[in-house]
Amino acid sequence: FRRLRQNLKKTRDALGAELTQTLFDTLDDETWERLEEALIMADVGAGATAKIVGRLEQEATSGGTTDPQALQERLIELLAEAARPHGEPTIDLRHGPTVIMVCGVNGTGKTTSIGKLASTLATQLGQKVVLGAADTFRAAAVEQLQIWGERANVEVVTGPPGTDPGSVAFEAVRIGREIGADVVIVDTAGRLHTQLPLMEELAKVRRVIDKQFPGAPHEILLTVDSTTGQNGLRQAKEFSQAAPVTGIVLTKLDGSAKGGIAIAIAQELGIPVKLIGIGEGLEDLRPFDATDFATALIR
Ligand code: GDP
């Protein structure tokens, strides 16, 4: 939690000055306006902000507590509630192998997140992991994945440059099944989402994986760069219309003043944030915990 708190400093600062206890010392219209402004600045989103501020104000003015400390506590609770995903934020690893397809626009932290996830699963949880480098469009992406694979000591399935992404995905899942892997993680291309062929390519990779292993992929994770705030949310909306995204990996929270986007995503997409990236190190990918997150934003 300490590290999470440290790395959410920028968002907390964006909220911070406004949200110290003194905000609730006097309760008048300005209190609620300032709170609203601060939440909007942190990219919590207009809808969620209105709901949270409205609720807190209503409780405080209708005979509820007016104690500053208690109001801050209640604010944390309301933020956590709003950030709490609609489904289980966990990833079921009992599919033998569980196939995780990872998509996201280039630069959002897709490859890094896959590397961290593979490393955590392999070294901390003792899982047998296979990586599929189906972002065959970028030679650098394949190399990067191979480096992560070496670090985590997991097998990386690749094809020559320009190979059909579907065939690499197919092969990765086939090998994963053959060697009794617990998890197969498939990287996919991330050229700009406005290009229709990308969405078609992702759909094709999905179909091919399902053909090799009916029911797979079991998870489709989408990386969203939290520093891009509402833009990231827009991207996530477009991706989720094209593919049944099951979870968000919210990256770069350490460098972001817009960490509130986790709440906007949960509210507007109905897709749980499952993992968060809070740094570039191996250990900097964490499961998302709404209460810890909300607490780290405010205190
Ligand atoms: P991709 O193009 O989506 O595969 O993106 P990369 O995985 O190559 O990441 C792009 C850049 O973002 C790299 O410099 C990463 O080190 C950096 N990055 C990824 N995740 C995080 C994170 O959680 N925190 C920080 N600070 N940097 C990150």
Pocket test residue of 3, 145, 280 for ligand 1, highest count of atoms within 8 A of CB? 280
Atom 5 of ligand 1: nearest residue by CA position: 109
State the alpha helices, DSSP H only, in the chain.
2-7, 9-19, 29-41, 46-61, 68-83, 110-119, 139-152, 165-178, 196-212, 229-242, 261-269, 290-298
Per-residue pLDDT of the chain (299 residues; tens, 9 = 90+): 888 888 888 888 877 655 666 888 889 999 999 999 999 988 999 999 999 999 999 999 998 888 999 999 999 999 999 998 666 678 889 999 999 999 999 999 999 999 999 999 999 999 999 999 999 888 888 999 999 999 989 999 999 888 899 999 999 999 999 999 999 999 998 876 555 588 888 899 999 999 999 999 999 999 999 999 889 999 899 888 878 999 999 999 998 889 999 999 999 998 999 999 999 988 899 999 999 999 988 88
Beta-carbon contacts of residue 227 (< 8 Å; ≥ 6 apart): 252, 255, 256, 257, 258
CA 242 – CA 226 distance, rounded (Å): 21
The DSSP code sequence of 47-76 is HHHHHHHHHHHHHHHTTS---HHHHHHHHH
Taking Cα atoms as reference points, which of 198, 197, 252, 184 lies closest to residue 223? 252
CA 142 – CA 185 distance, rounded (Å): 13
Atom 16 of ligand 1: nearest residue by CA position: 280
CA 277 – CA 164 distance, rounded (Å): 30
Question: Hey, CA dihedral for 5, 42, 89, 286, is it positive or negative?
Answer: negative
Which residues sit in the known binding site? 104-111, 187-191, 251-254
Ligand 1 mean position to 28 CA, how many Å? Answer: 43
Taking Cα atoms as reference points, which of 48, 87, 102 lies closest to residue 270? 87
Q: Is the ipTM of this complex over 0.95?
A: yes
The token pair at 75 is 């604010």
Which residues sit in the known binding site for GTP? 104-111, 187-191, 251-254
Q: Are 248 and 110 in contact (CB under 8 A)?
A: no
* pLDDT score at 7: 87
The label of the residue with tokens 């966990």 reads 90
Q: Record the pTM.
A: 0.93
Ligand 1 mean position to 279 CA, how many Å? Answer: 8
Atom of ligand 1 nearest to the CA of 105: 3
